[in-house]
A and B are shown apart, each in its own frame.
Chain A
Amino acid sequence: MTLNFSRRPIFPANPSEDKLISSIRIANGYVVEGIPDKNADGIVKPRCFNWEFEDSYDCRMDRADRETQDSYDSSDILDILPSDPFGMDISATFTAITGWIEDLEADSENYERDESGAMKGDYQFVAGLNFIWNRAMMFQTEPGSIGIGERSNTVDRFDGWVEDKEFEDGPCGGGFVSVCNVEEFPSFDGDDSRAASCLSNMSQEAAESCPPGEGEAEAEAPHEALLFALSYLRVKDLLSAERVCRTLRSAVQNDVLLWKNIHIDQPLSERITDDLLVRLCSRAQGNLQSLSLVDCTRITDDGLKRILETNPRLKKLSVPGCTRLSVQGIVSNLKVFKSSGAPGIKNLRIGGLYGVTNEHFEELKLLLGSENCQQPKSHNPRFYHSGHLSHSCDDDRAIDIEMCPRCQNLRLVYDCPADSCQGKQSDSQLCRACTLCIARCVQCGRCINDSEYEETFCLDLLCSSCWKQLLNCPERQEENGVPSKHTVFHQETMYHLRLYG
Chain B
Amino acid sequence: MSSTKIFLKSSDDKTFEIDETAARASETLKNIIDGGCLDGVIPLPNVSSNILPKVIEYCKKHGGDNGSSKKIANGGVDKDKEILPDYDEEEDKREKVRVDELKKWEEEYMDFDQQVLYDLMLAANYLHIKGLLDLTVEKAASMIRGRTPDQIRENFNINSDFTPEEEEEMILIEDEWDDEWAFD
Asked if A146 is an interface residue, CB under 8 A from chain B, the answer is yes
A445 to B153, CA, bound (A): 42
Residue in B84, B147, B162, B181 whose CB lies within 8 Å of A245: B162
Contact of A445 among B83, B117, B148, B159 (CB under 8 A): B83
Known contacts A84-B182, A267-B180; is A153 also within 8 Å of B167 by CB?
A: yes
Closest residue on chain A to residue B175 by CB atoms: A83
Question: Which applies to chain B's interface (DSSP): helix, strand, loop or mixed?
Answer: helix
* Chain A residues whose C-beta falls within 8 Å of the C-beta of B183 in the assembled complex: 85-86, 267
Q: How many residues of B contact A (CB 8 A)?
A: 53
Whether the Cβ atoms of B148 and A240 lie closer than 8 Å is: yes
Contacting pair A150 B170 (CB below 8 A) = yes
Kindly report which residue of chain B lies nearest to residue A202, judged by CB atoms: B154
Is A488 among interface residues, defined by CB-CB distance under 8 A? no
Beta-carbon nearest neighbor of B138 in chain A:
A232
Kindly identify, within residues 139 to 180 of chain B, every residue whose CB is under 8 Å from any CB belonging to chain A: 140-141, 143-154, 156-162, 164, 167-168, 170-171, 174, 176-180
* Inter-chain contacts of B181 with A (CB < 8 A): 240
Given known A148-B150, A232-B138, contact A276–B176 (CB-CB < 8 A) = yes
* CB-defined contacts of A359 to chain B, threshold 8 Å: none
Q: Does A138 contact B (CB under 8 A)?
A: no
State how many residues of chain A have any CB contact under 8 Å with chain B: 56
Contact of B146 among A83, A84, A229, A237 (CB under 8 A): A237
B85 at the interface (CB under 8 A from A): yes
User: Measured between C-beta atoms, what is the minimum distance from B126 to chain A in Å?
Assistant: 11
Asked if B86 is an interface residue, CB under 8 A from chain A, the answer is yes
CB of A406 closer than 8 Å to a CB of B: no
Question: Is A271 an interface position by the 8 A CB rule?
Answer: yes
User: Is A223 part of the contact surface with B, judged by Cβ < 8 Å?
Assistant: yes
User: What is the CA–CA distance of A152 and B164 in the complex, to the nearest angstrom?
Assistant: 7
Judging by beta carbons under 8 Å apart, are A480 and B158 in contact?
no
Residue A444 lies at the interface, judged by CB distance under 8 Å to chain B: yes
Q: A153-B171, A216-B159, A245-B159 are in contact. Are A147 and B154 (CB under 8 A)?
A: yes
Do the beta carbons of A241 and B159 come within 8 Å of each other? no
- Pair B122/A225 contact, Cβ less than 8 Å: yes
Report chain A residues within 8 Å CB of B153: 147, 149-150, 219, 244-245
A82 to B182: give the CA distance in the assembly, Å: 9
Q: A195-236: contact bitstring with B at CB < 8 Å (1 yes, 0 no)?
A: 000000110000000000000101111111110110111100
Residues of A within 8 A of B160 (CB): 149-150, 244-245
Which residues of chain B are within 8 angstroms of A267 by Cβ–Cβ distance? 178, 180, 183
Contact of B77 among A146, A201, A479 (CB under 8 A): A479
Q: Does B18 contact A (CB under 8 A)?
A: no
Minimum CB–CB distance from A34 to chain B (whole Å) comes to 13
With A153-B168, A240-B148, A271-B177 as contacts: A219 and B140 at CB distance below 8 Å: no
Q: Say yes or no: is A239 at the interface (Cβ < 8 Å to chain B).
A: yes
Q: Is the CB of A222 within 8 A of B156?
A: yes
CA A383 – CA B75 in complex, angstroms?
A: 21
Taking the complex as formed, is B76 at the interface, i.e. its CB lies under 8 A from any CB of chain A?
Answer: yes
Indicate with 1 or 0, residue by residue over B106-128, a CB within 8 angstroms of chain A CB atoms: 00000000100111011001000
| Interface: B42 (CB within 8 A) | no
Q: Is B133 close to A, CB under 8 A?
A: yes
Binding site for B on A (CB under 8 A): 82-86, 88, 146-153, 201-202, 216, 218-226, 228-229, 231-234, 237, 239-241, 243-246, 248, 267-268, 270-271, 276, 383, 385, 417-419, 444-445, 479-481
Q: B: which residues have CB within 8 A of A?
A: 75-77, 82-86, 114, 117-119, 121-122, 125, 133, 137-138, 140-141, 143-154, 156-162, 164, 167-168, 170-171, 174, 176-183
Apart from A229-B141, A234-B145, what are 5 other A-B pairs with CB-CB below 8 Å? A201-B154, A220-B159, A223-B118, A240-B152, A243-B174
Q: List 14 A-B contacts (CB under 8 A).
A: A151-B150, A151-B171, A202-B154, A225-B119, A225-B122, A226-B140, A229-B137, A240-B144, A240-B181, A244-B153, A268-B178, A271-B178, A417-B84, A479-B76
